[in-house]
Amino acid sequence: NAGVTQTPKFQVLKTGQSMTLQCAQDMNHEYMSWYRQDPGMGLRLIHYSVGAGITDQGEVPNGYNVSRSTTEDFPLRLLSAAPSQTSVYFCASSYSLATTETQYFGPGTRLLVL
Amino acid sequence: AQSVTQLDSHVSVSEGTPVLLRCNYSSSYSPSLFWYVQHPNKGLQLLLKYTTGATLVKGINGFEAEFKKSETSFHLTKPSAHMSDAAEYFCVVSRDTGRRALTFGSGTRLQVQP
């Protein structure tokens, strides 16, 4: 049981480049989400999904796209990277939408946009 | 709107002394509250959570927190710090709206001196 996995661990992009951050979980969780972590700001929700084929925006969705074709995978796409997207990105999953549910986090992807 | 305030961005203690990490929240309803820990270059891991019932919650590694509704606080404590406790700690409140999301505090970095 690997839990939540993310690739790559670290990435450097040039402004305007695109890339996909991968996230996968093997716990059969319905709910998956993407957060970005910036110094002194905690984590902020980018996008989330409540099941295959269903996604919605979080607090800071601009510049990011997501899709959920399977229960296991939830990739995050940066369409045209900007320096403001330099951050650490975390994928998380939980069994359900219930507010009491524990979220399980991946190890993170560090992104530097030059 | 809900919010979370972690009152100290940095706490330093000596090994074997008590730990207190402070968290205040604001919410218009009865929230679920969590503490997550993040060790360097790792993802977040659940320490403990309060949902309903007993207001004193015990978590992993000897940590506990008390939900005080009258004070809108959820402080994290541990009787005796260990070197392995050095990490960043996040207080989190769960939003009870049609679109589920967690609101993270800005984090408290705990340093443990030998």
Tell me how far apart the alpha carbons of residues B20 and B3 are, in angstroms, rounded to a whole number.
20
Taking alpha carbons only, the member of B36, B86, B11, B90 closest to residue A42 is B90
**A-B contacts at Cβ under 8 angstroms:** 56
Contact list in A for residue B4 (CB cut-off 8 A) is: 42
What digits encode the pLDDT tens for the residues B28-63? 777 889 999 999 888 899 999 998 888 899 999 999
Candidates A41, A89, A95, A99, partner chain B, best to mutate (most B CBs within 10 A): A99
Tell me what pLDDT residue A96 has. 83
What digits encode the pLDDT tens for the residues B5-23? 999 999 999 999 999 999 9
Is B74 in the A-facing interface, judged by CB distances under 8 Å?
Answer: no
Contact between chains at B44 and A107 (C-beta distance less than 8 A):
no
